[in-house]
Structure 1
Amino acid sequence: MSRTVYVNGEYLPEEEAKISVFDRGFLMADAVYEVTSVLGGKLIDFAGHAERLHRSLALLDMRQPVTDEELLAVHRELVARNGIEDGLVYLQVTRGNPGDRDFAFPDPDKVKAGIVLFTQSKPGLADNPAAKTGMKVISIPDIRWGRRDIKTVQLLYPSIGKMMAKKAGCDDAWFVEDEGVVTEGTSNNAYIVKGGRIVTRQLSEDILHGITRAAILRFAREAQMVVEERAFTVAEAQAADEAFVTSASAFVMPVVEIDGVALGSGAPGPVTRRLREIYLEESRKAAI
């Protein structure tokens, strides 16, 4: 069945959705995006995603083409039209179509930003079997551009990283800088647990400011868990009791092996399991 998508102010059947070949998002990856999860037909942490969208757009001197209220209405309309119970809403804002290809940015007041939204149905999204077995990850060099805190559509190397993991018989990859320091996963924030202490890299331009990350750290502290925001190495991760990743679509996902080294018992640990329970419970309560 054809989905309804939203393109530059219109709701359209997906096969009729089109953008210009001169759109800078298409030509230069000059665009940002957000992915909001849907559970039980409701949006998870929409406000957080909207706030991060503002930040990404501001850092790139782009204009948001619709208000937050209009954006929320589009999200809800697409969820309703496409009958999404569990799944995702993908949002992309591009710098727009200046009329011809040029490396120089067009004046943001003279070119209207483009906007595209579509849904993906993911029945049982919160019941991913990997949450019970855990993920295996490999480490790969982090050769991405420096502004990883801006959620752009420049995802070629993360895609390559996922394919490298797949070829190695694993599920995902963690990006690693000099001296084995972990930045984050290909599409998620990375954590380790040692002696009951949760460790994750501090916010900076080096990592994405994850919406799920912010919620998890808040819930962890409310549950009287100790959180350390600092860098850690692959070696430190391999010696940890547990590890996990967070993202809008995976929520809290345990990691049980890093570069062939099993962590702890080789199964998802108690801290990770508890954080996933808390996150899903609290997020469902606050969903809109």
Structure 2
Amino acid sequence: MNQILLNGNMIKRRSCIDIEDRGYQFGDGIYEVVGIYGGKLFLMDEHLQRLKRSARELSIKLPFTMADIKQDLIELTKVNDVIEGLLYLQITRGVAPRTHELPVEKVEPMVVAYTKELGDLTELQDMGSTAILQEDIRWLRCDVKTLNLLPNTMAKQRAVEQGAVEAILNRGEVVTEASSSNVFIIKDGIVYTHPANNFILNGITRQKVIQILQELNILVKEVPYTVTDLLSADEVFITATKLDVVPINSVDGHDIGTGKPGMMTIQILEAMRQLTARLQVQ
């Protein structure tokens, strides 16, 4: 990774954050993470539409059109010659004297993007992994993809310390999502996932998986479900950018189904792989 995108310019990576940038001091900003497959940005338009919505919800005026930033991000991916990896895009409100209220004077947003190569995730997807349960202590606007991720990182760290891939979050008895992914359960051939409201981030991969399920004529219900439902499910899987679909074999040491990736989860994973494979040959 040699180049980053900073306010529309390709530059060598360096430290360039002002001490009074509101993203640095308040987490006052938004971001997106886009998967790169075969050198191509996957579901880029969907990510940019969510970015636009997040900016609107935080009253951040984007300093570019969607077409312009899309072209810049495509160019960034090409310049860094990333074949398999991620693109990270972050926008903060900008630099202003530190006050809790929003700046009155005009402030220019700070836009930065970079790419990152990733190793092969096939084994994780094929073998599945484990998860733990954690109480969901996040704020009530999880639908906005902001920089305020401390509760997520704390939950993820607890998962890592226990050798798990994810921390599945619950508000009381209701399962919401995971620290950095969405959660699906399967029971009696029906797929369930939490509805896309203010309690979860409507993941782009989540949306694509729901579309895949509909194309496969698999019934999917976007309804709240409980921890008991999760633990008694036939199959559980998580979805996220570049992770795509990862089976969850056990939660808090409790086997899900047979304790191995289930047939429906494998079918969904293969459908996602076929989709990204087509992208790579375009």
| Runs of 4 or more consecutive aligned structure 1 residues displaced over 4 Å after TM superposition | none
**Could you tell me which amino acid in structure 1 is paired with residue 183 of structure 2?**
A
Does 1:263 pair with 2:256? Answer: yes
**Could you tell me which amino acid in structure 2 is paired with residue 156 of structure 1?**
L
The match for 1:164 is 158
RMSD: 1.5
The match for 1:216 is 209
**Could you tell me which amino acid in structure 2 is paired with residue 114 of structure 1?**
M
Decide whether the 8 Å contact of 2:38 with 2:279 is kept in 1: no
The match for 1:254 is 247
Shift of 1:283: 3.7
The match for 2:98 is 101
Shift of 1:155: 1.0
Shift of 1:58: 0.5
Decide whether the 8 Å contact of 1:44 with 1:284 is kept in 2: no
**Could you tell me which amino acid in structure 1 is paired with residue 20 of structure 2?**
F
| Pairing 1:228-239 to 2, within 5 Å after superposition | 228-239=221-232
Task: Give 1:121's match in structure 2, choosing from 114, 117, 121.
Answer: 117
The match for 2:133 is 139
| Pairing 1:28-177 to 2, within 5 Å after superposition | 28-98=26-96, 100-107=97-104, 110-124=106-120, 127-177=121-171
Q: What are structure 1's unaligned runs of at least 5 residues?
A: none
**How many residue pairs get matched?**
281
**Could you tell me which amino acid in structure 2 is paired with residue 110 of structure 1?**
K
TM-score, scaled to structure 1: 0.94
Could you tell me how far apart the structure 2 residues matched to 1:106 and 1:190 are? Answer: 38
Aligned-partner SS, 2:225: coil
TM-score, scaled to structure 2: 0.96
Decide whether the 8 Å contact of 1:251 with 1:276 is kept in 2: yes
Decide whether the 8 Å contact of 2:33 with 2:87 is kept in 1: yes
Aligned-partner SS, 2:140: coil
Shift of 1:168: 2.1
Aligned-partner SS, 1:257: strand
Report the identity percentage.
32
Could you tell me how far apart the structure 1 residues matched to 2:112 and 2:151 are? Answer: 23
Shift of 1:10: 2.1
Shift of 1:24: 0.3
Decide whether the 8 Å contact of 1:7 with 1:17 is kept in 2: no
Decide whether the 8 Å contact of 1:45 with 1:283 is kept in 2: no
Decide whether the 8 Å contact of 2:8 with 2:72 is kept in 1: no
Shift of 1:218: 0.9
For each residue in 1:203-257, what CA deviation from the matched residue of structure 2 results, as whole angstroms up to 9, or x when unmatched?
Answer: 1111001111111101101110011111111211111110001111211111110
Q: What are structure 2's unaligned runs of at least 5 residues?
A: none
Could you tell me how far apart the structure 2 residues matched to 1:7 and 1:28 are? Answer: 20
Aligned-partner SS, 2:239: strand
Aligned-partner SS, 2:250: strand
Decide whether the 8 Å contact of 1:192 with 1:198 is kept in 2: yes
The match for 1:194 is 187
Aligned-partner SS, 1:129: helix
Decide whether the 8 Å contact of 2:92 with 2:111 is kept in 1: yes
Aligned-partner SS, 2:164: coil
Decide whether the 8 Å contact of 1:85 with 1:123 is kept in 2: no
Could you tell me how far apart the structure 1 residues matched to 2:17 and 2:65 are? Answer: 21
For each residue in 1:122-163, what CA deviation from the matched residue of structure 2 results, as whole angstroms up to 9, or x when unmatched?
Answer: 143xx4311121121111111111100000011111111111
Could you tell me how far apart the structure 1 residues matched to 2:260 and 2:237 are? Answer: 11
Could you tell me how far apart the structure 2 residues matched to 1:95 and 1:284 are? Answer: 37
